[in-house]
Structures are given as C-alpha cells and as structure tokens.
A and B are shown apart, each in its own frame.
Chain A
Amino acid sequence: MSLERPDTVDDGGVERTPDELEALLGDLVVDRDDHLNAPAFVIRPDTVQETLRTLKEQAGYDHLSVVSAQEYENRYESIYHLKKYDDPTQEVSIVVPADKDNPVSESAEPVFRTADWHEREAYDLIGIEYDDHPDMRRILLPETWQGHPLSMDYDKDRPQIATLPEHANPLEDHHKDAESDTMFLNIGPHHPATHGVLHLKTVLDGEQVADVEPDIGYLHRSEEQMAQSGTYRHQIMPYPDRWDYISAGLLNEWAYARAAEDLADIEVPEYAQVIRTMGAEMCRIAAHMLALATFALDINGDFTATFMYAINDRERVQNLLEDLTGQRLMFNYFRLGGVVWDLPEPREEFFSKTRDFLDQLPESVEEYHNLITSNEVFQMRTIDTGILPPEVAKNYGATGPVARGSGVDYDLRRDDPYGYYDELDWDVVTEDGCDNFSRLLVRMREVEESAKIIEQCVDLLEDWPEDERNIQANVPRTLRPDDDTEIYRAVEGAKGELGIYIRADGTDKPARFKIRSPCFSNLQTLPEMANGEYIPDVIAALGSLDVVLGEVDR
C-alpha cells in the first residue's frame, strides 16, 4: 500500500459479516430484507450513490452485477446486486424502494458506470425514473411506446406505434468548424458485421470514430415476461436455450436450474452434475467456435476458410450434443434436480465418439493458430486495437472472456463453484493484452481447457457404477417456493456471468424473473474501446466482444 493512499481502508479481500456491513453503512440502512444469496439492506431512494460508494470504496464491493427492478402492490423497488471481482461469493444486495405514485430514485451511474443501461432498462420495462441519470430514455422498446410492459397495470392489447426515423448526427452542431466536419454513419440493424440485429449510431471525424452509440432492442422478445408466465417445474426451461442461442443452451439452462434449485432447496445427484458439466463444456466449445468463426469473418471478410473450418468443428460438437440431448441447438436437456435422460446407449460408442473429437481438437486449434493468430494482417488488425483497461472493464461490469482478456481473473466456475467443476483439474485463462487479440486468445485457450474438463468427465462417467447412475432428484410435481423469498444466482456462461434473479410469491410461477445477461454489460463497453479508433477497429472490437443479441435484448 503506497503512502499517498487516503484514509479509506481498502480491505477488499476481507469478508465482513452482515452485521459489520450494517455498522459500516450506519444510518443509511433503514431496514433489513435478506435474500437467500446475500444480506440485503433497505435504503432511502436519495442515498443510493452514498451507499454504493461506501460499499465500493470501503468494503471492496467493486462489481455491480445487475439492477433488478419490480413493482409491488404498494411500491416500486430497485435492487442493486453487488459482488467482489476477487471473491464473488461475497455478495450484498441494496434494496431501494420508490414511491408508488411518483417512482423516482437516485441513479447509481456516477458510482458504477454499468448502471447506465441497467437503469434505462428498469425505466423502460418497469417505469422507475432515476434522478441524476445522464440519459434517461427507453432502451429496449421504441421511444414512442406507451406504458411500461412489466408494470402491474400494463394492457398488452393496446395499439402501439413504432417509427422508422431518419437518424440525426448528434455531434453535428458543436463539432462543426472550418477544418473538421463530422459524418453520421448507420451500422445496422441489418448488417453482416453486427452479429444479428444491433444498430450502431456512429459519428466519424475523418476516418476516426468520434462517437458510437449501440442502439439495442431489435430482438427484445419479452423473455422475462415469458418466464414470469411459466411454471417453475417445466415451462421455463425451454426459454433459456433461446437467450444465448449460439449453441450455449446448456450453459443458460444451468443458470435457471441453479437459481431455481437453490430457491426450492433441491439437491442434484452427483452423477447428473457430471453429465451437466460435460454437456455445458461441449456447449462452451461450440459457442467459442462460432465466436472464432464470426470474428475471422469480420476481420478477413466474406465466408472464408477459417469460418468453414470453425463451423466444421462446431458440427462435430453439435453431433455429440445431439446424441446426448436429441437436439442440435435448443436442447431443453436440464430438469430441476437433474437431467432429462441418461447418456445415449450404447454408452461406449458415445464415449469413443467424444474421445475422437477431443483427440483431433489440439490439431484443429493448432490450425487456427496457423490460419489466424499468426497471420500478420490479422495481427495488425487486432493487436493494440479496442483497448479495454481492467479498471474500465470492472466499472462496466464486464465478465467472461472480455474481462479475462483484460487480465481480470474472474470465473464463476472456479470462484463460486457449482456442478462438478471444483473436483476437476483445469485452469482459468487470462491474458493481459486488454485488446481484441487477447480476447480471441482467451477464447481459443478456453476451448482447450473445456476439452480437459470434458475428458475428465468422460473418465468419471465411464467408471461410474451402474446402480448409482441417478440422473434426477425427487422433485415435487408442482414447486411453490415460499412467499417473498428472493434469490440471485449466476453461472459462468459462454459470454460471462449469466445470472437470474427470482422473487417467489408462493404460487407456482415466479413473481419477478430478471435475467442478468453478460452481453448486455459487455456491449456497454464498446464506446470505450471504439472512440478515437478507426472505423475497421470498431468492427473488430464488436467482433471480439462476441455479443449475441438474443441475450442483450432478451
């Protein structure tokens, strides 16, 4: 610790008991309302910044995972789920009630940059307004939308009007002088490099990017409403497959399974956990292969060799996953308390197919290194472009390969273990380059780590005694978690921390189901990486973020 350091004690690693935290916050705490995963403190809506700043600077809670907002009969509520990057098992929730007739609450944006989009989403869907927010607009729905769809009195049959406006250059006026002039450039929502339906409002000053604003919501399919209208036991599980649809289905299903199992106190049999771990890592390989394929597509242009090679490897994993789950893309394989069926018979055939795949994988990875990472043109495009310093990444709540490419050593599989990960031998991959190249390297090396995990799982499954192959715990036909229990649980998805917040109200359906999407937070960092760079670097940066719009918009 340097001598210039101010008096504030930065003891980020030290775990504090809930009572110590309450003492630290002092008068700011109005009430306690503990969640299953963390202590929760109720505060007044005008002390949000003060509370969060205290927790961030004096207790080391430097990761704002998500802001989940909801409406009750008598009040509105925003919950700030805080964690530590060093140890995500240390969590605390800050509950901010707001007035029913005039829901206004202080914005957390000056403390955590990531709150910007999260609060805009809360405004858009629930209707809470945030004071001191830099840009309080709708984010997912069209600007002309009437009503807030997840609020209580919303009428979903009312007519709506969406506009197709001509976009204006936001910098035109104050940037125009005799020497320089800016140009507005629309990228998307239909564009091959945006990986789906993302719209980038870009302003160029010469060849350089003066301003870029991601405009999202072109694939906002009401996922949270769909989950809130399904029953816990079976009706929600098909939807997670469709959040991050880049074949990361099992990883997403695990996010829901983990939250719901902890909420309803279900113990998953060990054998099922091993199958889950194996399946999830297969999905991770498939997802990273597509990230690699499309990144090469963005950089090299058109449907090139790398794209075809990577898709070829994806097809191989998808064949394995199809054998396991019966589906190519939307697996719907997990059940609360286990998985839907055992490994395919004959088991030996499945194991040998899996081993064949794992055996040829190092060769393919080597091939990708020859094709792209050691390619000079590729290196010129990616090394030292799209810089994301670790502190900025943390401030934006970036997770997954994006954070790990900036040297932030954060992986929930190791730090907040679930499934069978803590019994296996594997490493978390990080790179210190903070650039587009590092993020790609992280993904490529993670593929190798995933292969290690799968191999160990196959060994375990091969020797598993036949009479102990229990794939499913006893789960009641209808689940009704206790009224007013709340939980936030996250898993390491292909893109980062994929979390679910559920509030139960005693019925068989969740009262509030909030998805913390890693891509949503990761995409928010794009302006930090792109401003001041050249226009091709924006495309490279976007490709290296590997966003999937189904998960950004939900």
Chain B
Amino acid sequence: MSSDQPFITDESQVVTETRDARITGQGDRFNSRLREAFGSSPFILTKFDKFLNWCRGSSMFMLQFGIACCSIEMMHTYAVKHDLDRFGSGVPRASPRQADVMIVPGTIVSKFAPRMKRVYDQMPEPKFVVGMGSCTISGGPFQEGYNVIKGAEEVIPIDIHVPGCPPRPEALVYGVVKLQERVANGEAAPVTVKPYELEEFSDLERDELVDKLTDQIDDDELVMRYNFADSP
C-alpha cells in the first residue's frame, strides 16, 4: 500500500472525512492496533499532568547502583527469569544524570552516606527512591553497628520501602511496580526533614568535636555530621 492511499481496516470499511484527516500523511509503518482503537478521532482528551505522569511511570530509568547483599538480588531482578524490563523499568543507567529511580540496595555506613547523598543530588528531577531491604529501613541486622546509619531515610527521602533481608526479586518487582503506579497517579511521598545533611564544615555548630577537627578539615569541605545518640 503506498502512502498516499488512506488506511482502511477490514472491519471498518467506512471512510469518513475525519478519519481521512487523521490517517493521511503518515506512512504505513506507523499503523497499529492502538491507532485503530482510537477510531475516527485524531485527538485524545486528557489532563496534561495525567498524560505526563503516565509517560513517567511507564518508562523508568533505574540507576545501576550496587551497595551490598541486596544488589545481588537486584541483579537477578534485572536479569533473566524475573526481568524487570517487562514492566517498563528495567534499563539500568550507569550515570545518575540519566536515571530517575534509585534503588538503594544495602547498608549505608558512615563513609558512604555523603557519597550516596551526592549521587542522589546528581539525579535530575523528578526522582524517586526505592529502599530495598531491612538495612535501608532501620539498619536491619546491623542496626547496633558503630558505623551504620540507621536507615537510608536518615539521608535521602524514600518513596517505597521493600522489606526483607534480602527481599526476593518478586518483592522488588512488586515494589517497583507500586512506585510506577504511584508515579502514574501523581502521588508523591511526603517530604520529610532529613537529620543528616551534607554541609560545609564552617556551617556546623561549633562544639568540642568541631574544634578538635578544625585543623584537619578545610572550612569549605563538605561534611556530614552523625548524631548517633539521637538515632533510633
């Protein structure tokens, strides 16, 4: 069929002017069942936000971000058998600047928290976070550890928590699909104030510890201060 002929399906031989208007001017390769299903109307009517959220939720780019044990199950979720890509969210991006979902798969410790915050900050808005496993909820089995941050939510906001140690791939798939559903519906997680911020050393409140470290750390160096006594 050449491109100047109108597109006619078997079940609807009727050719109307609106249908002509919609269908002419496009190559055959653009035909699809979806296009047929829209019938004679060349337009769809929806709210802009709703349409955009539907696009966002249907195509999520994950950050390729492995921390600890959970990242092994996360790899299985991306790979054969569980294949997260089936749901339109399985393409891991190596750069945070190309990603809009971050799965936090593991224990956050003192040395890593500032780096994770930095990676999170590098992602473009709007961005979403799935916390995978008990460690990102509370520190999990390592909660008592001297070096462990009691949950990823002490550092960055989290939209979906997937519990388990580690969660099975099925659980992670469920969590991600739930997130997609929420994004498509335009629901956002409440923004909470985070206890641990990345700030310049000179902005810290002065106390014994800060005084002690003044000659080790430059004033404009970024630091994160942990108040372990206040942690849950």
Chain A residues within an 8 Å CB radius of B52: none
Q: Are A219 and B228 in contact (CB under 8 A)?
A: no
Q: How many A-B residue pairs have CB under 8 A?
A: 169
Question: CA–CA, A315 to B169, complex, Å?
Answer: 11
Closest to A312 in B: B80
Task: List A residues 501-549 near B (Cβ within 8 Å).
Answer: 549
Question: CA–CA, A146 to B168, complex, Å?
Answer: 38
Question: CA–CA, A430 to B141, complex, Å?
Answer: 38
Question: A312-B80, A329-B72 are contacts. A197–B112 as well, Cβ < 8 Å?
Answer: yes
**B86 contacts the other chain (CB 8 A):** no
Chain A residues within an 8 Å CB radius of B229: 157-159
Q: Are A196 and B71 in contact (CB under 8 A)?
A: yes
Closest to A241 in B: B69
Q: Which of A18-26, A187-195, A384-392, A460-468 lines the interface with chain B?
A: A187-195
Number of A interface residues, CB 8 Å?
A: 56
Chain A residues within an 8 Å CB radius of B64: 192
Question: CA–CA, A159 to B206, complex, Å?
Answer: 13
Closest to B143 in A: A226
Question: CA–CA, A143 to B216, complex, Å?
Answer: 9
Q: Which of A146, A220, A328 contacts B111 (CB 8 A)?
A: A220
Q: Are A245 and B223 in contact (CB under 8 A)?
A: no
**B189 contacts the other chain (CB 8 A):** no
Q: Are A315 and B94 in contact (CB under 8 A)?
A: no
Question: A190-B119, A222-B148 are contacts. A303–B78 as well, Cβ < 8 Å?
Answer: yes
Q: Are A311 and B109 in contact (CB under 8 A)?
A: no
Question: CA–CA, A162 to B118, complex, Å?
Answer: 13
Q: Are A154 and B225 in contact (CB under 8 A)?
A: no
Q: Are B222 and A163 in contact (CB under 8 A)?
A: yes
Give the shortest distance, in Å, between A510 (CB) and chain B (any CB): 15
Give the shortest distance, in Å, between A145 (CB) and chain B (any CB): 8
**B165 contacts the other chain (CB 8 A):** yes
Query: Dominant SS at the A interface?
Result: loop
Q: Are A161 and B223 in contact (CB under 8 A)?
A: yes
Question: A190-B65, A303-B78 are contacts. A222–B147 as well, Cβ < 8 Å?
Answer: yes
**B232 contacts the other chain (CB 8 A):** no
**A453 contacts the other chain (CB 8 A):** no
Chain B residues within an 8 Å CB radius of A160: 110, 209, 225-226, 228
Q: Are B226 and A161 in contact (CB under 8 A)?
A: yes
Q: Which of A143, A220, A238, A246 contacts B72 (CB 8 A)?
A: A246
**A164 contacts the other chain (CB 8 A):** yes
Question: A162-B114, A162-B223 are contacts. A222–B72 as well, Cβ < 8 Å?
Answer: no
Question: CA–CA, A226 to B139, complex, Å?
Answer: 12
Number of B interface residues, CB 8 Å?
A: 58
Question: CA–CA, A163 to B111, complex, Å?
Answer: 8
Q: Are A161 and B114 in contact (CB under 8 A)?
A: no
Question: A217-B111, A219-B112, A221-B107 are contacts. A303–B79 as well, Cβ < 8 Å?
Answer: yes
Question: CA–CA, A219 to B144, complex, Å?
Answer: 15
Give the shortest distance, in Å, between B205 (CB) and chain A (any CB): 11
Task: List B residues 62-81 near A (Cβ within 8 Å).
Answer: 64-69, 71-73, 75-76, 78-81
**A39 contacts the other chain (CB 8 A):** no
**A290 contacts the other chain (CB 8 A):** yes
**A330 contacts the other chain (CB 8 A):** yes
Give the shortest distance, in Å, between A310 (CB) and chain B (any CB): 9
Q: Are B228 and A189 in contact (CB under 8 A)?
A: no
**B29 contacts the other chain (CB 8 A):** no
Q: Are B72 and A162 in contact (CB under 8 A)?
A: no
Q: Are B81 and A142 in contact (CB under 8 A)?
A: no
Chain B residues within an 8 Å CB radius of A189: 112, 115
Question: CA–CA, A466 to B210, complex, Å?
Answer: 67
Q: Are B80 and A308 in contact (CB under 8 A)?
A: yes
Question: A144-B217, A161-B209 are contacts. A242–B148 as well, Cβ < 8 Å?
Answer: no
Chain B residues within an 8 Å CB radius of A456: none
Give the shortest distance, in Å, between B105 (CB) and chain A (any CB): 10
- Mask of B90-112 contacts with A, CB within 8 angstroms, 1/0: 00101010000000001101111
Question: CA–CA, A180 to B65, complex, Å?
Answer: 35
**B113 contacts the other chain (CB 8 A):** yes
Question: CA–CA, A146 to B66, complex, Å?
Answer: 28
Chain A residues within an 8 Å CB radius of B216: 143-144
Q: Are A242 and B80 in contact (CB under 8 A)?
A: no
Question: CA–CA, A226 to B148, complex, Å?
Answer: 11
Question: CA–CA, A71 to B75, complex, Å?
Answer: 41
Chain B residues within an 8 Å CB radius of A256: none
Q: Are A226 and B141 in contact (CB under 8 A)?
A: yes
**A338 contacts the other chain (CB 8 A):** no
Q: Are B111 and A315 in contact (CB under 8 A)?
A: no
Q: Are A163 and B223 in contact (CB under 8 A)?
A: yes
Chain A residues within an 8 Å CB radius of B204: 161
**A225 contacts the other chain (CB 8 A):** yes
Chain A residues within an 8 Å CB radius of B210: 161
Q: Which of A159, A165, A223 contacts B226 (CB 8 A)?
A: A159
- Mask of A140-179 contacts with B, CB within 8 angstroms, 1/0: 1111111001000010111111111110000000000000
Chain A to chain B contacts (Cβ below 8 Å), 25 pairs: A141-B111, A145-B110, A146-B209, A146-B212, A156-B228, A157-B228, A163-B223, A190-B96, A197-B68, A218-B111, A219-B68, A220-B111, A220-B147, A221-B145, A221-B147, A221-B148, A222-B147, A229-B144, A242-B141, A307-B79, A311-B75, A312-B81, A330-B165, A549-B68, A550-B69
Which 10 interchain pairs have the tightest Cβ spacing?
A: A222-B145, A245-B69, A164-B114, A311-B79, A157-B229, A164-B222, A218-B112, A149-B146, A156-B146, A221-B142
Inter-chain pairs besides A192-B66, A242-B69, A311-B79, 4 sampled, C-beta below 8 Å = A158-B209, A164-B222, A197-B66, A312-B81
